[in-house]
Chains A and B, each alone.
Chain A
Amino acid sequence: MTRSIRTTRALALSSGALVALLALSACGSRTDDEASSTSAASCVKTDGDSIKIGFLNSLSGTMAISEQTVRDALDLAAEEINAAGGVLDKKLEIVAEDGASEPTVFAEKAEKLIKSDCVAAVFGGWTSSSRKAMLPVFESNKSLLFYPVQYEGLEASPNIFYTGATTNQQIIPAMDYLKEQGVTKVFLVGSDYVFPRTANKEIIAYSEANGIEIVGEEYAPLGHTDFSTIVTKLKGSGAEAVFNTLNGDSNVAFFKEYKNVGLTAETTPVVSVSIAEEEVGGIGVDNIVGQLTAWNYYQTVESPQNATFVKAFKAKYGDDRVTSDPMEAAYTSLYLWKGMVEKAKSFDVADVQAAADGVTFDAPEGTVTVNGDNHHIAKTALIGKIDADGLIYPVWESDGPIDPDPFLEGYDWAEGLS
């Protein structure tokens, strides 16, 4: 026995030495070696009669509920583009991946799409954490991501195009609306993660500058299901309106509690920024009817483009399906990429980036324009009211499309926020 221990120890030592040796021999370059720090050249194939693009959405895990709808909209757009002859006469070839609702998986799959599948661009992501996880991957590999969801702003990567709203196209207009309605006391409730905390920081700065009092700020852990304490605090705060940045299941518990303690949309309206058409059914229409939402698109938007979009979507996926803002933004993102590529006459990332500024698309939400500086798009803000039929109808809209301002540089009160 003792002999075997000694041998093992010797083995452990020698294998340790082996590892150290290998590690030393393997380490090629240090950071200061500027020359070798460039990454491998793009492997995108552009000589065939098709071009590969990647779709990366969570099809499993907690986010699958939302992200599956985005995937459906992307598939619809790809189908339409291929039916109309493709992009630069090349058919789109889709490489689909599952992000599994985990940031690490998003990073891993993004790298796979870029390096192994050699896609020209990737479309997808939903949560801020998935985007933050993918960002370094796209920057270091010099590839492109189209991100279709409203988010907390304070970001502008040259390798990401943001086709959802940034805060000055959604949250600030919502506050403008509340101010116009004469609201002076607002209560903030949100899930405990990046988007609500950042959004609320901006709302607080806005309120200070506009004479609105914030009478409470509460965060619930993700997946929290008991809102009796938070609603008690809310009820006692004298709030005239509630700004809701809760995420997912928590909304259901919150609105049921809200209704049960006798609060109503007439006396204390709730403005939500994460509730779209497909969530209304799960919350229960009678629990949420009359409440407000802030988005840039609703299924009820009246335009010929939207009529076509909704009709095509229902034809493909069934009459009971609804369309929502992130879906529309995803659908639009594919067409915007097509526009950029056709303007650049090239699939090369640098050419696409250079051609991006000013590319427009007559989207279902209205005409949108890409801002070449910050890679966001100009969008019109719409405040909507949830109706008894489960759809959301616009009750207010901004004066035309709002230019994207992710760092809120155009707002005096936002100084020192970022």
Chain B
Amino acid sequence: MATEVCAPRLVRPERRSIARSLLLTLPILLWSLLMFFHPGSSAEWESRIAAAITAVFMVALFFMMMRTGTTYRWRRCFLVSLGVLFPVGFIHNLFVMRGSMGIPVEEMIAGRTPFCFMPIPTLILPAAFTRTIAFPGSIVPAGSAASHGIAAMVGMWLALTLVMGKGWCSYACFFGGIEEGVAAVPKRAKIRKLDGRWRYGPWAVLLAMVLLSFALFEPAYCAWLCPFKAVTEYISARNVLGLVQNVIFILLFAGLVIVLPYLTKKRTQCSYFCPFGAFQSIFNKISVFEIRIDKTRCKSCAVCQNACPNLSLSKESIARGETLLSCMKCGACVDACPQQAAVWHIKGTDVAVKPERARLLFLYGAWAMAVMFGGSIIAQGLATIFHFLA
């Protein structure tokens, strides 16, 4: 079960001409203009400049995807930016609203706890059996905060999942961006042998958290295990229990998001721990896009397996010509394969017949979502930085 890890070797397919690449980028350019520039908007100058920079950034990355025919490194630029800038905007908002990153019990009782996508799987059983949301937020908050309620976030998650399946983890998850950034820092992995059995970790955490949340009627993952509480919003430590919770958050963040990604060059939190990632894997079953291995070309060199940041390829799955269910469609294996045997694929079609068409169709949907969701977060983070610099 041990996996030999080495740095991904990028083999670039033939470059497109600039004109053709621009033509293919045009829809995303128009989409970005639509998403970032609203006629009659009364946004501050910081927000307008941030939106312009973000739009150029997103369009430029897509152009490079079209020009080079590769996906991973450009998508990574976006996701790492998202991971870095999300906490900037989010923490700034918390300080403006309540003067602290800690969430006091008053805010929970008032239903003003910001709701992210992470607890979605743990809410299902309590909601199904008792029509109760076991989370201290608001389903539809009053006033201008209505877009930040539980219903809005679940609605957005459903829509993005319909489009991307587990591609969410590669094109929308700001938390994943942090560890992807850390994993990109070292040139080579310090730990090269990873036990493949760890890939069942997220499923175990998911099962435990779903059952525990149902039994205790609380978002158990948010309360006890979310590593990203360390860089977003922690529980106000009003007693020893709160202190213990915060120590757990910091240790998990340091271990799974900083130290292990640096040592392994993998997204270890996603691969070993994230229950939302495991839950999201299920939606790969309904997603029409996937990565396949063309068995006629594959030389079983395992370069794709080593390049995968998420342990989503095994020798067995490669032999079957498939990725594992946890594949997040980041494109690392496709870009790394020296035989171009790892290909984008649309279910129902022949493998390796027009894979670029499959890639383009997936990327148009995924990048449109990335511009809309992640782009707005990047713009908000940039606007916050400009606000402090001004």
Binding between chains A and B: no
